[in-house]
């Protein structure tokens, strides 16, 4: 689904169910690129900073050493791109191309 900012977002259901058989709350997934990471320490730094953002439940990073790594964040609501960029900057890296939701 395309939102008003021209980016894409989709909700994913977690594989867990509450005790009455209802699915867990849907999460919003955002994908983006991060430049400058070269090792597992870099991945840990970015993961730690992104995990501090309100509503973030899971961070997955596919490292491309020296290139643009793909980052996927699952959160309770859409993430603010400026806050994501600030978190990545705090870790010492650069958001590339904005968020795809």
**So what's the pLDDT on residue 99?**
73
Task: State how far the alpha carbon of 25 is from the alpha carbons of 16, 30, 33, 43, 74, in Å.
Answer: 9, 16, 26, 27, 12
- For residues 74 and 14, what is the distance between their CA atoms, to the nearest angstrom? 10
In a domain, 2, yes or no: no
In a domain, 3, yes or no: no
Q: For residues 24 and 13, is the Cβ–Cβ distance under 8 A?
A: yes
**So what's the pLDDT on residue 2?**
31
Q: For residues 77 and 71, is the Cβ–Cβ distance under 8 A?
A: no
**So what's the pLDDT on residue 69?**
97
- What is the residue-level pLDDT of the chain in tens, covering all 101 positions? 333 333 333 343 333 333 344 355 799 999 999 999 999 999 999 999 999 999 999 999 999 998 999 999 999 999 999 999 999 999 999 999 877 76
Domain carrying residue 19: 10-100
In a domain, 59, yes or no: yes
**So what's the pLDDT on residue 76?**
96
* Start-end of H helices in 18-73: 40-51
Q: Which residue shows structure tokens 């597992």?
A: 40
């Amino acid at each position: 689904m395309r939102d008003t900012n021209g980016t894409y977002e989709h909700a994913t259901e977690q594989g867990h169910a509450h005790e009455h058989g209802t699915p867990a709350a849907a999460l919003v997934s955002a994908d983006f690129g991060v430049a400058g990471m070269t090792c597992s320490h870099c991945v840990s730094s970015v993961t730690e900073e992104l995990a501090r953002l309100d509503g973030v439940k899971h961070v997955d990073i596919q490292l491309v050493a020296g290139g643009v790594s793909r980052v996927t964040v699952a959160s309770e609501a859409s993430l603010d791109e400026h806050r994501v960029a600030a978190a990545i900057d705090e870790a010492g890296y650069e958001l590339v191309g904005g968020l795809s939701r």
